[in-house]
Structure 1
Amino acid sequence: MNYSDTAGDTAPAHDIASETLCRWMDCVVDRAWQGVAEGQSPFAAAIYGPDGTQLSLENNIVKASGQPSRHAEVCAIDSACQQLGQCKLDDCWLLATGEPCPMCAATAAMADIHRIVFGASADVISQAGYATLELDCEKFYELTDHQPLLIGGVQQTRCEELLLKNPKR
């Protein structure tokens, strides 16, 4: 599923090569596999700055922390904000192995992130047994005044394999 043409008026133009997005997503998928090896759920996320610098790379740590809000996207956003000393990431890119859930989408909106890239869709996440609250990013953002550029399906095969080989138990 590719949402790349659903950007609202406030989203910056898609100004980066698809090869770059694929290379960035490869790093995120590798981090997710590392998290799986550590007993975590198969999700990871990263924040990249406007110059392509990786500001954060985190995996889901819900199991390790015992905190249901420690999804990879939230961890990556928190880490990038701490590194930059600010709570707005409006010129950054959020990459995630799976389509962000409503909590993660809301966190991205609160951080004013305008570019969200993911590999596996909410449907595949559900197939693997993980909660999506039956609300994908497109539907979530239709309910808000935040209209980021959504690009789905980047390294889709790798991301779907990651999820489907590591279903929720």
Structure 2
Amino acid sequence: MNSYSRFMELALREAETAYEKNEVPVGAIVVDSNGAIIGRGYNQVEMLCDTTAHAEMIALTSAMGTMQEKYLTDCTLIVTMEPCPMCAGAMVNA
């Protein structure tokens, strides 16, 4: 199993968590250039009553907190579903 398969497995686990909480089952993982996981997230729109609480947004915010940086240079986001326009924009800006 290559590293991206492993990261996708972890993102799928995040999606399972969302599903268990009656959220849209999407999960995301952010990995730095060394292959370390620096952020993770799952959809929490219903739980937080926040239309921006998508898995990608939560994972990016988590990664930025870990790195103490607003730009995630040389990082990769692995997500279980095609990102919406809001999340795609956040990825470009990160």
Which segments of structure 1 move beyond 4 Å, counting only runs of 4 or more?
none
* Residue 79 in structure 1 maps to residue 79 in structure 2: no
Partner of 1:92: 75
TM-score (norm 2): 0.95
User: Gapped runs of 5+ residues in structure 2?
Assistant: none
1:75 CA displacement: 0.6
Partner of 1:36: 19
CA RMSD of the aligned region, Å? Answer: 1.1
CA distance in 1: counterparts of 2:28 and 2:74, whole angstroms: 17
1:47 CA displacement: 0.3
CA distance in 2: counterparts of 1:86 and 1:34, whole angstroms: 27
- The DSSP-based 3-state class of the residue aligned with 1:98 is coil
Q: Deviations over 1:36-95 (max 9, x none)?
A: 111211101110011110011110000001010110001100110011111001210000
Contact 2:28 2:59 in 1 (8 A): yes
TM-score (norm 1): 0.54
* Residue 54 in structure 1 maps to residue 33 in structure 2: no
Partner of 2:52: 69
1:20 CA displacement: 1.0
Which residue identity lines up with residue 82 of structure 2 in the other structure? E
Select the residue among 92, 102, 106 that pairs with 2:89.
106
User: Gapped runs of 5+ residues in structure 1?
Assistant: 1-17, 112-169
Which residue identity lines up with residue 61 of structure 2 in the other structure? D
Number of residues paired by the alignment? Answer: 94
Contact 2:40 2:60 in 1 (8 A): no
Partner of 1:45: 28
Taking only the aligned residue pairs, the percentage that are identical comes to 29
